[in-house]
Structure 1
Amino acid sequence: MTTLLESDEHKSLREAVSAFARSHPRATAPAESRHFWQEAGKLGYIGVSLPEAYGGGGGGVTELSLVLEEMGAAGNPLLMMIVSPAICGTVIARFGTEEQKRTWLPGIADGTRLMAFGITEPDAGSNSHRITTTARRDAATGDWLLTGRKVFISGVDIADATLIVGRTEDARTGKLKPCLFIVPRDTPGFERRQLDMELHATEKQFELTLDDVRLPADALVGDEDAGLLQLFAGLNPERIMTAAFGIGIGRYALARALDYARERTVWKTPIGAHQAIAHPLAQAHIDLELSRLMTQKAAHLYDAGDDMGAGEAANMAKYAAGEACVKAVDQAVHTLGGNGLTREFGLATLITAARVARIAPVSREMILNYVSHQTLGLPKSY
């Protein structure tokens, strides 16, 4: 599936990733997912958006979102693609020191190293301004000390480090000053607890506890006074990649439903000939294609350096793709009837997975708030 917005290079990349992803069985276990990740890394797909000088492909979020979409459409959506190269890799590439770039980017690019991302807290989900994880300087050594909690953090057990969003306090205003730290997995005081999720996914979710975690001064990524600029440099790609994740899952579910609707015969007629089956599937396809166009727009704006335009488009793309994904999966299961809930057809597990694209990393309600305030100029209710 290609669009008029794609160059010949993008079309070739899409075709290559699709062929690669379809040549691998659907990963249902962590070991299978890790193998798929490693193979994708060797081929340059994980690091396609990272600078060539540090082992990447020199592309942007446009190329990375294309890769993730095609992986999802083949049945292997890699959640850590959103986290490791898109958020952490982007932030380090834009704001990291030369040493941080040389240490982390080549491994992130070739898939041999992973980095998780920790922002959400028990009392600071949608309202990231309420983050309480605190970073303070040790005056004697210059080290940083981090204390706080994070929740719903993906892949911490397989990540070499976690990019933690903390805060310093502006003594003049008392306002949040977000700052980002690279915390290696085995750092003393950095503890994790796996959350008991019903979501079927190869990547596990964790609650993190930071108890006076001591970090050297060079663990800070970027400038401690840069504020929200650095944070949103990672959050806009996160929204774009989540949209690609949802579109890929939706395409995979729709393809399974179409195969079934063409072959399943009742009263000598394939069920796909009936409008009650055909029209909802057509609507699902239209919704996925429309969300795809907005995702491509958001990615192009981000890669062009238009952070403000990309913020609006990224939120819209994530909203549209989340809705389209949930509807596509639901209609696919409904098309198959009882077979849609069997392990053989592999759709039932997508019912919960599809919800991720709707509620994370930001809920559809908060996106509607963003659009109503930022785009339409309506007053806030909070």
Structure 2
Amino acid sequence: MTSYTETSERQQLREQVFKLGSTFGGEYMRACTAEGRKTTELWDAVAQAGYLGVAVDEQWGGGGGDIGDLAAVMEELSAAGCPLLLMVVSPAICGTVIQQFGTAEQKDRWMPGFADGSLTMVFAITEPDAGSNSHNLATNVRHDEETGEWVLNGGKYYISGVDEASHVLVVARHRQPDGTLGLPSAFIVPTDAPGFTKQVIPMDIAMPEKQFTLFLDDVRVPADALVGDATAGLAQLFAGLNPERIMGAASALGMARYALDKATEYARTRQVWSTPIGAHQGIAHPLAHCAIQVELARLMMQKAAALYVAGEKGAGEVANMAKYAAAEASIAAVDQAVQTHGGNGLASEYGLGSLVVASRLARIAPVSREMILNYVAQHTLKLPRSY
């Protein structure tokens, strides 16, 4: 029977990661955002401690753990106020896909970099005209029979952290001789490849990482840039998307905990009349409700990680539910934290205002609330498909 209870080793991992994250904290992230700096010092510190590679096999220098361990790292950094978005796309998605489906040579080349943090690889699947419909991707690839190279053309949208990455794992559909597009595959593309260009997307969200539109114009990559079987289609790609949902849930849960910590500390010490405001049920009960939501979502995330590691069939369903629950818990916790602070909730000094937009993002990415509800309606409740 699959156990959803965390081991003492993972609990110790959580403690150590939170301790490290607290030496940076929310002030560090806000400073990086305001000054346009990258979170290089934090990334390097987390990497040096071995936390970025906890889910990489030991033969490549990793910790030999699993996605549950990596999610714990993500949650604790977020709870300390300094989440690392690129952990989701680099070790969780790209690392998982290459570790599961890459050739022996690809694993030997790329996995040590995921393990020690020296490699940052981002993931590019989203397109302007495809949205959540991965079957409608237009980015295409053809095989040059003379050179043996793959040639990619197309564009990607809302791709995180491309300016911090050396490579992008690009999803493209194979162009058939008749011009139609066949199954998709993943290709490792250097960010400095000729024909590869990027354009930043201006965002109202305050965070160090940036989002980009990508353009691929006859981008050539060698034969060994293909990861996995060219005929496998979306099955291989989805191997990285369930970890993405688990990591997204972990990030949202950490943010919720961070906001609740701020709110409860304020409620314990802030006095308007003769008692701390936290003694009043109008303040205490909403915060208690948020705490319950966080714990319920956390249990679902732990279940999703355990099922994924065990290879059980329901892992995708639970990962979607975990991401949904964590996003809702995060939005509620941040909102209530702001409300608890009153006007101070939007003062820069308290560091909560920027979380209002950041928490809202969890309801949209990496998969929208509506698509998760579609999935649950169809697969859990066996209702007719609506799209």
TM-score higher than 0.5: yes
Q: TM-score, normalised by structure 2?
A: 0.95
Aligned mates of 1:155, 1:4 — CA distance in 2: 32
Aligned partner of 1:324 in structure 2 is: 329
Aligned partner of 2:244 in structure 1 is: 238
Structure 2 residue identity aligned to 1:213: V
Structure 2 residue identity aligned to 1:372: A
CA contact (8 A) 2:287 2:336 kept: yes
Aligned partner of 2:276 in structure 1 is: 270
CA contact (8 A) 1:137 1:143 kept: yes
Q: Following superposition of structure 1 onto structure 2, how do residues 72-221 of structure 1 map, counting pairs within 5 Å?
A: 72-169=78-175, 176-221=182-227
Secondary structure of residue in 1 paired with 2:373: helix
Structure 1 residue identity aligned to 2:183: K
User: 1:25-76: CA deviations, max 9, x gaps?
Assistant: 4323164621011000011100101111111111000100011000000001
CA RMSD of aligned residues (A): 1.6
- Give the one of 371, 375, 379 matched to 1:374: 379
Secondary structure of residue in 1 paired with 2:162: coil
- Give the one of 72, 77, 102 matched to 1:71: 77
Structure 1: tracts of 5 or more residues without a match: none
User: 1:116-147: CA deviations, max 9, x gaps?
Assistant: 10010001111111100001111211211100
Greater shift, 20-29 or 197-206, is seen at 20-29
Aligned mates of 2:314, 2:181 — CA distance in 1: 26
Aligned mates of 1:370, 1:380 — CA distance in 2: 9
Aligned mates of 1:143, 1:356 — CA distance in 2: 38
- Give the one of 322, 339, 346 matched to 1:341: 346
Greater shift, 163-172 or 14-23, is seen at 163-172
Aligned mates of 1:217, 1:316 — CA distance in 2: 38
Secondary structure of residue in 2 paired with 1:250: helix
Structure 2 residue identity aligned to 1:210: L
Q: CA deviation at 1:4?
A: 7.5
Secondary structure of residue in 1 paired with 2:5: coil
CA contact (8 A) 1:179 1:220 kept: yes
Q: CA deviation at 1:368?
A: 0.3
CA contact (8 A) 1:170 1:177 kept: no
Structure 1 residues 322 and 171 mapped into 2: Cα distance closer, same or farther (>3 Å)? farther
Q: CA deviation at 1:23?
A: 2.1
User: 1:273-326: CA deviations, max 9, x gaps?
Assistant: 1111111100110001000000000000111122x3110000000000011101
Secondary structure of residue in 2 paired with 1:266: coil
1:12 aligned onto 2:1: no
Aligned partner of 1:226 in structure 2 is: 232
Greater shift, 50-59 or 29-38, is seen at 29-38
Aligned mates of 1:45, 1:285 — CA distance in 2: 27
Aligned partner of 2:47 in structure 1 is: 41
Aligned mates of 1:151, 1:105 — CA distance in 2: 26
Aligned residue-pair number: 379
Secondary structure of residue in 1 paired with 2:331: helix
Q: TM-score, normalised by structure 1?
A: 0.96
Aligned mates of 2:206, 2:53 — CA distance in 1: 26
Structure 2: tracts of 5 or more residues without a match: none
Aligned mates of 1:153, 1:348 — CA distance in 2: 25
Aligned mates of 2:265, 2:352 — CA distance in 1: 13
Percent identical across equivalent pairs? 58
CA contact (8 A) 2:4 2:302 kept: no
Q: CA deviation at 1:110?
A: 1.2
Structure 2 residue identity aligned to 1:154: S
CA contact (8 A) 2:74 2:250 kept: yes
